[in-house]
Amino acid sequence: MKKKAAPILVVILLIILVAAAGVLSFVIKRFTPSNEKMDGSQYFGLEQDTDVALVVNGEVLEDVGKFIDGNIYIQDAVVSQYINQRFYWDANNKVMLYTLPEEVITLTPDSTEYLVGGETLREDVPMIRSEGDVFYVSLEFLKKYSDMSCQEYKEPARVVISTEAGTVQMVDASADYEIRQKGGIKSPILTEGKKGDALYFLEAMENWTKVSTGDGYTGYIRNEDISGVREVESAVETHGLEYTNIRKDYKINLTWHMMMNREGNQELTSKIEGCTGLNTISPTWYTFADDKGKLQSLASPAYVKQAHEAGIEVWGLIENINTEVSTLDLLSVTENRTKIIQQLMKSAKWTGMDGINVDFENITEDCAPHYVQFIRELSVACRKAQLVLSVDNPVPQPYNEFYNRKEQGIMADYVIIMGYDEHYSGSEEAGSVASLPFVKDGIEQTLKEVPKEKVINAIPFYTRLWTQPYGSSNITSEAMGMDTAAAYVSEHQMETYWDGEAGQNVAELQGDDALYQIWLEDDQSIEEKMKLIQSYDLAGVASWQLGYQNNSVWAVIGKYLQ
């Protein structure tokens, strides 16, 4: 029996040893870091010898740059989206425009010559290259006119760019290290480094930290291989291109003066009587006679003289209300924009007015690049003439992001939020013209793009009487000024209650055939809006429109502009 048992024990022992070896092999395999290295060209998405990877603010872009005649060029659409949005393609004249604080640069594709304010300058290589309908901007030209840091690397070819000024978060390598594609030891190695290297901190995980290297790799490093997070100033270089602005040393209290004809200029004295604290007025003087840029003007030097005598500045308003004129056709042609600006400058000099207010509404997405370029070019002229430039904007919504308030905030002196039309003539339901949450959201969204010292919030001096017949979904409305609405409520003995959420008194009447509702604008509602303007320390307030107000409201406005 003992002789038979011995082979069985040997077999069992061998099985145990094999199993142990298998377990050991599995453990070693599982917990041994991978030595696999990802190919750099694969990581950066390089497919051709002429490709140059673009790493902007730690992000490897899907689009690549190109070597053209040994120089690096980047597609203009990529430049606009990630690096510098100020390049504008003039399709009619086949040139690229770039707006400086007091001049516009004109770049002709594939030419080493370019114009700055009419003066011809030259570079060693073309600033713009063309390949069919695609245009590329020279990296050297970008460096010259863009606020950014830029480093070029080889093998693989890549350009690492940062445009984010201010402070950045860094960590230091406490040991020699590996950066892996993902947070795990089996993930491929992107690059390696030495103890003491500084890395950009992006995100902390349980055992790994997401970082970027100075030469463009973004991946994960073991937490044990880095020190704590520290803040340093970014390496973004500025080029002294200061888009200077006029800043009043007082809070703006502006109202718009709507006029239909020249006779309206003669009503100024009576219109502003009782408007205590008003320091700026914007008459609706200019609109377009055709889509070539010819203006229809109601401007008046006498009006400006009267306003100045009352201690009020005049910002002449230009609008696009002529429905027979296509704003797209108008603004997409450089000669048209130039013609408009020249007429405005001539009129400003003739009248002695203090500024220009741009009120272009219903801008479409395809028109937006041309509209923003018009604001840039107009800002150059206003800067030279020392005219205040203000731009009116609808309350920010996802569907109007293309208004580009950020760029407006750089170019213009003031960005005005038209904080009303929450419910309007075509609304399918009755409601406030400007409830408190609506106004608050408009301010907060605008402040994400424009500094508070440039933001003016406009409030309504009007409301709407809503009529909804019983049993019908058809709702109609009629705009009313403050006094007219108050008189209607009194005459019809409407029941009124305070809506704390909306920040308004609401009047209702259940008539014989319909429900009537008014979200009133009065001293109380205006005070709630002024509290918001004060709490966000905005540059001031605007109001639509002069003549719709109850004059008691001016004391309320003034109280919050001290």
Q: Per residue in 398-447, pLDDT tens?
A: 999 999 999 999 999 999 999 999 999 999 999 999 999 999 999 999 99
pLDDT, tens digit, 9 for 90 and up, residues 369-389: 999 999 999 999 999 999 999
Where helices occur in 281-333 by DSSP H, the ranges are 301-309, 327-331
> What mean pLDDT comes out for the span 521-532?
98
How many residues are present in the chain? 562
Asked if residue 14 has pLDDT above 80, the reply is no
pTM: 0.90
Burial of 401 from C-beta contacts in 10 A (0-12 / 13-18 / 19+): middle
Which pair of structure tokens corresponds to residue 358? 């741009």
Strand partners, 211: 201, 219
Alpha-carbon torsion angle 87, 90, 95, 100, nearest 10: -40
At residue 469, φ and ψ (nearest 5 deg) are: -60, 145
CA-angle at 403, arms to 332 and 444, nearest 5°: 170
pLDDT tier for residue 263 given thresholds of 50, 70 and 90: very high
> What mean pLDDT comes out for the span 35-62?
95
pLDDT of 237: 78
pLDDT of 517: 98
- Radius of gyration of the chain measured on its C-alpha atoms: 32
> What mean pLDDT comes out for the span 515-523?
98
Rounded to whole angstroms, the Cα distance separating 233 from 144 reads: 21
Average pLDDT, whole number, for the chain?
94
Strand partners, 508: 495, 517
pLDDT tier for residue 234 given thresholds of 50, 70 and 90: confident
pLDDT tier for residue 118 given thresholds of 50, 70 and 90: confident
Strand partners, 53: 158
pLDDT tier for residue 3 given thresholds of 50, 70 and 90: low
Asked if residue 24 has pLDDT above 70, the reply is no
β-pair type (280-288, 313-319) = parallel
Contact 413, 388 (CB under 8 A): yes
> What mean pLDDT comes out for the span 147-156?
94
Asked if residue 21 has pLDDT above 60, the reply is no
